[in-house]
């Protein structure tokens, strides 16, 4: 991924915080994606080896699941809506 180490740590923390708010398991979050276990783990940790589109996919799924759980998501500070258009030029966002 093209994020620096601080951005990766922050993104991973935001993904995990939203997973807790969504009230679902990692298996539930992964269901319905084409991600294998390694791809999922790398994306959840915003690993340097993760594909950016996988991280965005999980981000978007979590936002939907948190809202479905009647809560407000923890805001994403790196993967913001303002960054979606530039990211979609570089990566095939799903």
Model confidence over 4-44: pLDDT tens digits? 999 999 999 999 999 999 999 999 999 989 999 999 999 99
Consecutive H or E run containing 14: helix 5-22
Question: How many percent of the chain have pLDDT more than 70?
Answer: 88
Cα(48)–Cα(75) distance, integer angstroms: 22
**Sign of the alpha-carbon torsion through 7, 10, 16, 17:** negative
Instruction: For the full predicted model, state whether its pTM sits above 0.85.
Output: yes
Instruction: Please count the structural domains in the chain.
Output: 1
What does the block give as tokens for 83? Answer: 């960054």
Domain region containing 68: 5-90
Query: Exposure pattern of 20-31 as b/e (b: 16+ CB <10 Å)?
Result: ebbebeeeebbe
């Amino acid at each position: 991924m093209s994020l620096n180490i601080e951005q990766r740590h922050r993104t991973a923390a935001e993904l995990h915080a939203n997973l807790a708010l969504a009230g679902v398991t990692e298996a539930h979050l992964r269901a319905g994606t084409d991600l294998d276990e390694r791809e999922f783990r790398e994306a959840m940790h915003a690993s340097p080896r993760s594909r950016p589109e996988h991280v965005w996919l999980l981000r978007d799924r979590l936002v939907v699941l948190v809202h479905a759980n009647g809560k407000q998501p923890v805001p994403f500070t790196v993967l913001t809506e303002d960054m979606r258009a530039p990211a979609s030029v570089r990566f095939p966002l799903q």
